Structure formats: structure tokens, C-alpha cells
């Protein structure tokens, strides 16, 4: 009885690809990626989902009008696909408190810094790396954590450090953090949490 996983995306889907590759390689064996939800109809992540024969569905504010309507549609999809675990992989929408409370320790997110550094509201994408370089940190990295009502405030599942080079730009640092940290710890964390949920489902 595998843990059924939904991955929420907004852009290129490199973290989604890391998860799909990990599942194909048997590194994610306790869960199955069963649904991809995008906030952006043009997200390349949807093409990645299609290539792996995973249903990809867009639920955008533009289409549904309000955050509440978006979340109601997402909840219906999660129920329809019998989803056990939500993975936020570059999802550019802050989920409401009522949504996150509905799924306690069933939503995980990857953040491109070592929480509690460079995190919270407004810290996403390149801004995280720009701030890290501006502060002159010598080590950064990525964090996978559970999601609660506080942006980047949930319990930490995994972290991995990455050295900052003197020659780094925000773009080179972003790419290295993805390659050396995000793409490694996200699949590992998904497998760990999926295994726990699978045990619960099987009543062990």
C-alpha cells in the first residue's frame, strides 16, 4: 500500500524531476508520485509530469479568482486521487492556515537555505541566494521541512550544507545548491516520510 504523493509546482520542475528520477531508480520505494498540481498553466514541470505519465493539473488564481477557491479545488483533487503526502517543489503560492492545518505533517517543502537563515515570507527563488551572498556567509545549503501556518516554520526533516565560493553569483549558487543539496535531500526526505505514512496505512 504505497503512499500516494502529490507534487505542487509553479515553474521549471527541476525538483519534481529529481523526485521522478529517484522513484524510477528505486530510491523512493515507499511512495508513488500520483499527481502534479501547478499554479501556472505554462510551467515546464507539467511537461515533465506528462513525460512520466503522471496526471498534471493546473489550478491557478487567475482561473479560480480567490485563494479560497483555489484551495477548495486542490482539496477536491487530493481527495479524488487519494493523496497521502503533499510535496511543495518550487510552489510559489503561500497556502492558508486552514489548508495547512488540514494536513498536519503531511506537507513538506524544500527551501534553498539552511533554516533558520534566509527564510520566511518573501524568501524564495534567487532572493535567498542574493541575501546569502550579501551577508557574506561561507556556507549555505538546503532544508526540507514540514509545512505549517508559518512560512518555513515547520519541523525540519533534513538539511545539507553547501560551500559558498568567492566567485559565486546568485545564479551559480542557486544551481550548486540545487545540484548538491536540494536534489539529494528532497528525495531522501520524501522516502522517509512516505515510509512512515505507509506503515500507518498498513496499521503497523
Query: Whole-angstrom Cα distance, residue 160 to residue 174?
Result: 14
* CA-to-CA dists, residue 130 to 46, 59, 121, 126, 146, angstroms: 28, 30, 15, 6, 24
Q: How many CB atoms are closer than 10 A to CB 114?
A: 22
Cβ-in-10-Å burial (0-12, 13-18, 19+) of 25 comes to exposed
111 included as an active-site residue = yes
Distance in angstroms (rounded) separating the CA atoms of residues 48 and 64: 24
Annotated catalytic residue, options 4, 48, 111, 198 = 111
Instruction: Catalogue the active-site residues.
Output: 111
Amino acid at each position: 500500500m504505497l503512499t500516494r504523493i502529490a507534487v505542487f509546482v509553479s515553474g521549471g520542475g527541476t525538483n519534481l524531476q529529481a523526485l521522478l528520477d529517484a522513484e524510477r531508480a528505486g530510491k523512493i520505494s515507499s511512495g508513488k508520485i500520483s499527481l502534479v498540481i501547478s499554479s501556472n498553466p505554462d510551467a515546464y514541470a507539467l511537461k515533465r509530469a506528462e513525460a512520466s505519465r503522471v496526471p498534471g493539473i493546473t489550478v491557478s488564481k487567475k482561473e479560480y479568482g480567490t485563494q479560497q477557491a483555489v484551495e477548495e479545488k486542490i482539496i477536491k483533487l487530493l481527495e479524488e486521487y487519494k493523496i497521502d503526502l503533499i510535496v511543495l517543489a518550487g510552489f510559489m503560492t503561500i497556502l492558508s492556515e486552514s489548508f495547512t492545518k488540514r494536513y498536519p505533517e503531511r506537507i513538506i517543502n524544500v527551501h534553498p537555505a539552511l533554516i533558520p537563515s534566509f527564510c520566511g515570507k518573501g524568501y524564495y527563488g534567487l532572493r535567498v541566494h542574493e541575501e546569502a551572498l550579501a551577508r557574506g556567509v561561507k556556507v549555505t545549503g538546503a532544508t526540507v521541512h514540514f509545512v505549517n501556518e508559518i512560512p518555513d516554520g515547520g519541523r525540519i526533516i533534513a538539511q545539507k550544507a553547501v560551500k559558498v565560493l568567492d566567485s559565486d553569483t546568485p545564479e551559480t549558487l542557486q544551481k550548486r545548491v540545487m545540484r548538491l543539496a536540494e536534489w539529494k535531500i528532497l528525495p531522501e526526505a520524501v522516502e522517509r516520510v512516505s515510509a512512515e505514512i505507509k506503515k500507518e496505512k498498513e496499521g503497523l
